[in-house]
């Protein structure tokens, strides 16, 4: 099999593509009536959770938008079925078509928030993590699924970090927008400590919602302008998460800790780091910021944090000066706002002017080093 020199640091395995018995076959007997399961409706299979199916999680089966990328995917042979990105042979064939050697794979966003009940959420998350840990063994040098972490209990989150480390997973996605306490809060100290101890990379993925004036929030009037604005600003809504992690001081307290901003884009990050450095220097003594961190924010980012992008014309140009070892390309497969099957064309268009060394870092080496990928 040919080597293409590209790693996708942001790919996906959505709930819709999972087998119907993902949760019920892995949960203890007393939880099987509460964990996610598929029920039939007039609109086809639907994922629900809760004893009475009160938590609606989404449809069973994949979907493609009728946008330019969705049409391109169909024309390139991405034929929808209920399992395609879960079926190892089809997924690897898709990656060969895209020229991608390995993938970091994210799962089900906001599962704990959707289920509500803390114990049911923890059992469901454990079942998903068990599934992907076993699933990836079919192609261990190519598939690097990231676990899910509960956000409603630090005890449950720590326990799951310990468990997924034993399963051999390399990292975990943490839904920072719906955590019990903000990510900077001392409440989460045991989680950061556990992640550092077990070398589990913590990822915070671009949110499905984040802003208060645009998007799909219930109190907003629907309008195409709102939808367009939401899609445009969504990645940059991770600015508070990035700054909160740095100013919380956990990166100084736990030198082994690694944190990823996933699908955030990168062009805005150098400005934010400059801004954080400026404020840190201005207020280091007057506001006692030295009690937060003693290291320059941008230096903490370079030592501990990473960010992924799919299409970003500005970020790669700034990478050499700011963060050559911290930015990583991702195809976003199989999402129809990603770049599959045109990863190499996008890389050539957006990174073609970089030095070969820097380009190789961004599309391959940085991800391989972070996740200890098998060559």
Measured distance CA(354)–CA(373) in Å, rounded: 24
Residue 308: both structure tokens together = 């992924």
Q: Which residue has the tokens 């114990």?
A: 119
In terms of Cβ atoms closer than 10 Å to its own Cβ (0-12, 13-18, 19+), residue 129 is: buried
Regarding the domain with residue range 7-15+99-370, which homologous superfamily does it belong to in the CATH classification? Metal-dependent hydrolases (3.20.20.140)
User: Which of these, 136, 148, 133, 116, lies nearest to 35 by C-alpha position?
Assistant: 116
User: Which of these, 190, 189, 13, lies nearest to 111 by C-alpha position?
Assistant: 13
User: Which of these, 86, 298, 257, 253, lies nearest to 171 by C-alpha position?
Assistant: 257
Measured distance CA(6)–CA(347) in Å, rounded: 9
Mean pLDDT by 10 residues, the chain (375 residues): 90 93 95 94 88 87 79 84 87 96 92 83 95 98 96 92 98 86 93 98 82 67 80 86 95 98 95 95 77 93 97 91 96 92 96 95 98 90
Q: Which residue has the tokens 């990823």?
A: 260
Measured distance CA(48)–CA(128) in Å, rounded: 15
Using DSSP, state whether 59 is helix, strand or coil: strand
Residue 262: both structure tokens together = 């996933």
Domain-wise residue ranges, the chain:
7-15+99-370
Please report how the helices 239-248 and 269-283 are oriented relative to each other, as an axis angle in degrees rounded to 10. 40
Measured distance CA(112)–CA(124) in Å, rounded: 8
Q: What pLDDT sits at residue 210?
A: 62
Q: Is the pTM above the cut of 0.85?
A: yes
Measured distance CA(52)–CA(33) in Å, rounded: 8
The alpha carbon torsion through 203, 208, 210, 213 (nearest 10 deg) reads 160
- Alpha carbon 242 to its chain centroid, in Å, reads 14
DSSP string of 80-118, one letter each residue: --SSGGGSHHHHHHHHHHHT-SEEEEE--TTHHHHH--H
Q: Please state, as a whole number, how many other Cβ atoms lie within 10 Å of the Cβ of residue 170.
A: 19
Q: What pLDDT sits at residue 217?
A: 65
Q: What pLDDT sits at residue 212?
A: 65
260 to each of 26, 203, 276, 305, 323, how far by Cα in Å?
A: 29, 5, 18, 6, 13
> Do the beta carbons of residue 80 and residue 64 sit within 8 Å?
yes
């Amino acid at each position: 099999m040919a080597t293409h020199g590209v790693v996708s640091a942001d790919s996906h395995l959505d709930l819709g593509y999972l087998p119907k018995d993902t949760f019920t076959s892995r949960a203890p007997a007393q939880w099987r009536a509460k964990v996610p399961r598929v029920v039939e409706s007039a609109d086809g299979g639907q994922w629900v959770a809760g004893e009475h199916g009160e938590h609606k999680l989404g449809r069973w089966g994949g979907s493609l938008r009728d946008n330019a990328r969705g049409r391109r995917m169909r024309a390139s042979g991405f034929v929808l079925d209920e399992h395609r990105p879960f079926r190892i042979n089809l997924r690897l064939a898709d990656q060969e078509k895209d020229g991608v050697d390995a993938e970091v794979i994210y799962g089900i966003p906001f599962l704990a928030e959707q289920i509500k009940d803390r114990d049911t959420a923890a059992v469901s998350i454990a079942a998903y993590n068990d599934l992907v840990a076993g699933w990836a063994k079919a192609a261990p040098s190519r598939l690097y699924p990231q676990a899910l972490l509960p956000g409603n209990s630090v005890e449950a989150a720590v326990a799951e970090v310990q468990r997924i480390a034993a399963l051999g997973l390399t990292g975990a996605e943490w839904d920072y927008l719906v955590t019990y306490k903000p990510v900077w809060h001392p409440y989460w100290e045991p989680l950061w400590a556990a992640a550092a101890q077990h070398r589990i990379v913590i990822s915070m993925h671009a949110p499905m919602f984040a802003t208060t004036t645009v998007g799909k929030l219930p109190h907003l009037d629907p309008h195409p302008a709102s939808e367009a604005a939401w899609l445009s600003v969504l990645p940059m809504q991770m600015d508070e998460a990035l700054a909160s992690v740095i100013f919380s001081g956990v990166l100084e307290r736990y030198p082994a800790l690694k944190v990823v901003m996933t699908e955030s884009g990168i062009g805005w990050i150098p400005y934010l780091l400059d801004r954080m450095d400026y404020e840190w220097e201005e207020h280091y003594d007057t506001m006692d910021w030295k009690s937060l961190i003693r290291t320059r924010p941008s230096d903490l980012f370079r030592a501990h944090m990473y960010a992924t992008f799919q299409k970003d014309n500005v970020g790669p140009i700034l990478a050499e000066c700011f963060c050559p070892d911290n930015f990583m390309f991702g195809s976003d497969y199989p999402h129809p706002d990603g770049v599959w099957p045109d990863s190499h064309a996008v890389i050539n268009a957006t990174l073609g002017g970089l030095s070969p060394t820097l380009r190789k870092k961004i599309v391959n080496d940085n991800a391989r080093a972070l996740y200890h990928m098998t060559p």
